[in-house]
A and B are shown apart, each in its own frame.
Chain A
Amino acid sequence: DAGITQSPRHKVTETGTPVTLRCHQTENHRYMYWYRQDPGHGLRLIHYSYGVKDTDKGEVSDGYSVSRSKTEDFLLTLESATSSQTSVYFCAISDPQKGGYSNQPQHFGDGTRLSIL
């Protein structure tokens, strides 16, 4: 399995509080991604990073910010959590430089289950 660790694995918090989720990888992959998974919507991309301090928005980025100060860590922050952000959050990594651009699958962490009351 790809070395991806998400923390925390579970979190319950209240509306309006800030929340930070961490994704740590040991594979030295260039690309890192944050997805959320919701019933009826499937997996949707929130933000992604293509290098240290290089990030871009995904499909559902409103209410979320990210930071990547080191290759191995990608942080997802909910500045003021809302109940609509209750979800399971997955981190993924990939590196197109390994074996050619189109040939590298994304590898996923085990997810963080976040409940906002």
Chain B
Amino acid sequence: KQEVTQIPAALSVPEGENLVLNCSFTDSAIYNLQWFRQDPGKGLTSLLLIQSSQREQTSGRLNASLDKSSGRSTLYIAASQPGDSATYLCAVSREGNYKLTFGKGTLLTVNP
């Protein structure tokens, strides 16, 4: 059974700092890995999707990397802003199957 772990569970940083969120998974037979953002009381917004054959994806100040063999992904946020404050979730889908297994998330607070 796939298990996804996110560390840390919560993170508080001052504005402007670069930061890294971590995600690990136990079964390397994944189809893709997705990072989502969730604001309080809202649904999930897809940030980045990395296919199993890729090493990284970038969107603006966000960069996600994937090391499938070691079961790890990182989400790098450059020059953090108060508007980045949210819960960040990673999820993996199994090869040949589109169902997602989620981590419990990292609650990020960026202080002005």
Given contacts A108-B44, A111-B42, A111-B43, contact A102 B52 (CB under 8 A): yes
Interface of B: prevailing SS: strand
Docked complex: A31-69 residues within 8 A CB-CB of B: 31, 33, 40-45, 48, 58
Are B43's CB and A110's CB within 8 A? yes
One digit per residue, 1 when the CB lies within 8 angstroms of any chain B CB and 0 when it does not, for chain A 83-117 equals 00000001010101000011111111111000000
Question: How many of B's residues come within 8 Å of A, CB to CB?
Answer: 24
- A101 contact set on B, CB distance < 8 A: 31, 98
Question: How many of A's residues come within 8 Å of B, CB to CB?
Answer: 26
Are B89's CB and A109's CB within 8 A? no
Docked complex: B63-112 residues within 8 A CB-CB of A: 89, 91, 98-105
Instruction: State how many angstroms separate the Cβ of B34 from the closest Cβ of chain A.
Output: 5
Are B46's CB and A106's CB within 8 A? yes
Residue of B41, B43, B104 near A42 (CB, 8 A) is B104
Nearest A residue to B42 by beta-carbon distance?
A: A110
Are B100's CB and A45's CB within 8 A? yes
Can you list 16 contacts pairing A with B, beta carbon distance less than 8 Å? A42-B89, A42-B103, A42-B105, A43-B44, A45-B99, A58-B99, A90-B43, A94-B98, A102-B51, A103-B49, A104-B49, A108-B36, A108-B44, A109-B43, A111-B42, A111-B43
CB-CB nearest 4 A-B residue pairs:
A105-B46, A108-B43, A42-B104, A108-B44
